[in-house]
Chain A
Amino acid sequence: MSAESVVDLSGIVQKFGRVTALDGVALTVRKQTIHALVGENGAGKTTLMKVLYGALKPTEGKVIVEGQERHFTKPQDALAAGIGMVSQHYSIIGELTCLENLMLGAEPGWTIPFANARTKATELATQMGFSFDWDALAEGIGPAQAQKLEILKLLWRGARIMILDEPTAMLSPTDADLLFAKLHELADSGTTIIVVTHRLPEVMDHCDDVTVLRGGKLIASKPVSETNPEELTEMIVGHSVDIPAPTPATPGAVILGVSGLTVKGERGDDAVKNVSFELRGGELTGLAGVDGNGQRELFQAILGLLPFSGSVALDGVDLTKKSTKDRLVAGIRLIAEDRHHEAVIEDWSIELNGVLGLHHTEPIRRGMLVSANARKEIGEAVTNRFPTKFDRVGQRFGDLSGGNQQKVVTARAFQQNPRLILAFQPTRGIDIHVSALVFQALKEQARAGSAVLLVSFDIDEILEHCDRVLVINHGEINEPPEHLRGDRQAIGRLMVGAE
């Protein structure tokens, strides 16, 4: 193993408006190593990598690659210098064949000698121990194959430094181990690999060096052999803050009853697998899990937006066959994940958005009409609930800042006597102070008799605010045993299916 460094980032500062995402971060990666970059969501890992592969121009700082200072303005520049990145969201076009995806943007010539290219592609794949049906459309391949194809795409382009963002997030444990075995081979044959991850076992078992970021700052960078999981955890999380013991909840009657719920995901596999649980009034329940483990599908099925098998009941009334409209009227509220697409109409006023989804509930609906008075009241209620910066309720919603939009969307879920609030990261983009208010409000709503289910990718958030914890992993929901309820590590292990 050589000590020669191939990547040298120093003093990297990245500002987005007033927010400082990276604050003087440095990163040194040695040649032919697997370097882990760890940190919690929002620690700045992805931002730092975007700087390295040219998707972001840093506000300040130096990028030195293989001894040369670089000023990348686009990913293609970085690629030309031998740096490539596989992002979490693959850039594979389903309508093209695997071979076409492999070559796109780096075709061998004006005309494409397909037979020749296929041979070369097969050679490349065989070297890595992969196998592909090159002429099959890429839409049919699973996440593991897609990951491999992305890696081959980088190799095809001659990348010598490879960045993988959460490469195992979508992979089964077996596939993940296989992937790392291949990464080792790659490193041995001359490639340098940076893995962005938050899974510590991967770091300990497979990586040579590790760099920890927290809150946009560099915390530590050292060989894996000189550290241990406990130390890493502490560096990632920071010195454990005293989490106030949650005020004891007094669980009331069962509000939501889910039994045997199975939901098909986008890829046709089961995203939620035969899940059964109950939510009681009075309790704020947290659903911990890594992004993409079925949270989305679970919520959409409960709201009747996705077909499912099994049953869903609210307040003892079976809703399985009911429409989304009926479920909303019955009192289910969703704080949707994707605000732009799922929650609001940006061209509309705040007031019009305020009743979206509530427009069949009395007294907003009066016979065939939408009551102007009720609409106005709701418009004021959704802007007053949390401190929201806006001019007037008739203002175009899309002109609000992201945080203020989220406040309105969150506030809307509290209107018209909700029985069940499904909150998908309700505080995204909201500053800490208001976030606390949101959690407070969710808890109060629960204490007032509603059931609240909170999806968060942040364990601490859940530990801090929730009365009860459920963990979702690969579409299966588990509840940690009584004595481990407050145990961060135990919940973390459940989240990644290590237990």
Chain B
Amino acid sequence: MNWRFALLALGGFAVVYFALVVCGVVPLESLAKMIQSAVGSPAGWRNTLRQATPLLILGAAVFVALRAGLFNIGADGQFVMGAMSGTAVALANPGPVGMVLGMVSGALVGALWALPAGWIKAYRGGHEVITTIMLNNIARVLSLWMVTGIMKDPDEQAATTKYLPTETLLPLIYREKALQINLALLLGIAAVIGLWFYLKKTVSGYELEATGGNPTAARFAGIAVKQVTLKAMCLSGALAGFAGALQVLAYEERFYGGFSGGVGFDALGVALLAAGSPIALLPSALLFGIIAQGTTALSLDGVPKGMSGILLGVLIIVFAAYRYRKEAARD
């Protein structure tokens, strides 16, 4: 911790403060209100947890790639493709079977969508950031085409599929007054715990983190770095696709154009804030859920939705300045 960092953190806070002033609200008051609306009532919690669910799983997706030294900017596209395929499969198989198959297909398609990026990175040397951005764009165009074409509900004006029947949807596991918790959240938490187990206990996870930690040393330790890279990318894609399918099966109940709303990018923030520990994804995702829910609440006071972008940007920059510095060259 030094004065430069303190200055940056202060600058970050000033940006947020100033942005709130511009919106014509009292900054500290509205920050308090944000938190209050997100976690101060059962309904607030319901919405916050709903927002946090995809962030948690997508965060895990980005996280696992990051541990292998990869930036999966493509979580967004994998999420969209997972959601789309999950919807298609679930629509074709109504009932619990469709629910399960939907999740499976979401994960599979997500992994498939990440595969080219992983392969190009491992075996052709093309940077994963660019390839995943390209794949995001292709996913966006492709999903729009599908949802305005063969997947479109003919009875609807908008670009959307049919709604899934209720029996295909994921059930609520808790319901008390306004507080409702969907099974998806539990699955998300399970995924994070599973990820923790994988990374911290298994040989494969050990090799993945070694590859991210120092690829040369990993190679010297007999680790097949290229294969690990490919594996990590596909695992990341599978998680993101799984998150997409869950989003449909638990909350959205259908697939539509512009499905992700950029949640894949927020996930990068979730993963960065979790730093080295998978379990830290839980509070990190919750924090981003609070921001998402809080800014939605603030919009009633006339604070535009853009506030969440500013908070996200400031959070990423300040935290990364603290945690993700590059070592200076050694002589």
Contact = CB atoms under 8 A, between A and B. Distances in A.
A303 B202 contact: no
A370 B206 contact: yes
A365 B330 CA distance: 34
A370 B213 contact: no
Nearest to B198: A368
Contacts of B207: 359
Contact of A369 (B203, B216, B224): B203
B223 interface: yes
B204 to A, nearest CB: 7
Contacts of B220: 303, 305, 324, 334, 336, 342-343, 357
B213 A345 contact: yes
B250 to A, nearest CB: 31
A347 interface: yes
Contact of B217 (A324, A325, A327, A356): A356
Given A359-B207, A369-B202, A325 B213 contact: no
Nearest to A332: B222
A433 interface: no
B78 to A, nearest CB: 26
A363 to B, nearest CB: 13
Interface in B78-118: none
Contact of B214 (A327, A329, A344, A372): A344
A356 B210 contact: yes
Contacts of A365: 203
Contacts of A327: 222
Interface in B176-207: 201-204, 206-207
Interface in A324-340: 324-329, 334, 336, 340
A119 interface: no
Interface in A288-333: 303, 305, 323-329
B216 A341 contact: yes
A426 to B, nearest CB: 15
A352 B217 CA distance: 13
A325 B330 CA distance: 29
A347 B213 contact: yes
A324 B219 CA distance: 8
A182 interface: no
B221 A370 contact: no
B200 to A, nearest CB: 9
A394 to B, nearest CB: 13
Contacts of B202: 368-370
Given A323-B224, A328-B222, A345-B210, A370 B217 contact: no
Contacts of A352: 206
A458 interface: no
B222 A368 contact: no
Contact of B222 (A325, A340, A343, A370): A325
Interface in A66-97: none
A208 interface: no
Contacts of B222: 323-329, 357, 360
Contacts of B216: 341-342
A132 interface: no
Contacts of B330: 340
Contact of B203 (A329, A343, A360): A360
A342 B221 CA distance: 9
Interface in B287-331: 330
Given A324-B222, A325-B223, A327-B222, A341 B217 contact: yes
B280 to A, nearest CB: 15
B204 A368 contact: yes
Contacts of A340: 330
B201 A369 contact: yes
B220 to A, nearest CB: 5
A370 B219 contact: no
B214 A346 contact: yes
A497 to B, nearest CB: 30
A348 interface: yes
A372 B220 CA distance: 22
Contacts of A360: 203, 222
Contacts of B217: 341-345, 356
A359 B276 CA distance: 21
Nearest to A339: B217
B206 A328 contact: no
B324 to A, nearest CB: 11
Contact of A305 (B213, B214, B219): B219
Interface string B210-248: 100110111111111000000000000000000000000
Nearest to B200: A370
B192 to A, nearest CB: 19
A324 B222 CA distance: 5
A345 B214 contact: yes
A420 B222 CA distance: 16
Contacts of A372: 201
A325 B217 CA distance: 13
Contacts of A357: 220-222
Contacts of B201: 369-370, 372
Most buried by B among A326, A352, A370: A370
7 contacts: A323-B224, A334-B220, A341-B217, A368-B203, A368-B204, A370-B202, A372-B201
Top 4 A-B residue pairs of the complex, sorted by shortest distance between their CB atoms: A325-B222, A357-B221, A345-B213, A324-B222
Given A342-B216, A345-B213, 8 more contacts: A303-B220, A324-B220, A327-B222, A345-B217, A348-B209, A356-B210, A365-B203, A370-B201
Interface of A: 303, 305, 323-329, 334, 336, 340-348, 352, 356-357, 359-360, 365, 368-370, 372
